[in-house]
């Protein structure tokens, strides 16, 4: 199992455990309320979204990682395409960080 398959299936698992929030507004809200433990941002997000999400993460000290594209991110949580998702479980977040570093 390669690295991409590992983190995508782990994200899928986190999603089934209801520990994943997707969509820009909802993710920013999770970050603001300090519920997000890790934010995954797709490389092909718009410059505006990229800046908004990274600024919020930096301000609230929420770690974030960039992933290849919106389709991989969406697919791993069973959706079409997702530009940004937040993981609000410390265990899943720590494991995902390890896989993505």
Q: What is the pLDDT of residues 87-97, one digit of tens each?
A: 999 999 999 99
What are the boundaries of each domain within the chain? Answer: 3-100
Radius of gyration of the chain (CA): 12
- Classify 86 as helix, strand or coil: strand
DSSP code, position 17: T
Which stretches in the chain have pLDDT values below 70?
Answer: none
Class of domain 3-100: alpha beta
What pLDDT score does 2 carry? 80
What pLDDT score does 71 carry? 95
Judge if pTM exceeds 0.85.
yes
């Amino acid at each position: 199992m390669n690295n991409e398959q590992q983190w995508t299936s782990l994200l899928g698992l986190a999603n089934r455990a209801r520990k994943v929030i997707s969509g820009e507004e909802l993710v920013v809200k999770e970050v603001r309320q300090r519920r997000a433990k890790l934010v995954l941002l797709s490389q092909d997000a718009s410059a505006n979204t990229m800046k908004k999400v990274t600024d919020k993460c930096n301000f609230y000290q929420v770690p974030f990682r960039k992933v290849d594209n919106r389709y991989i991110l969406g697919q791993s949580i069973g959706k079409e395409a997702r530009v940004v998702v937040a993981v609000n479980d410390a265990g899943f977040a720590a494991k995902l960080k390890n896989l993505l570093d």
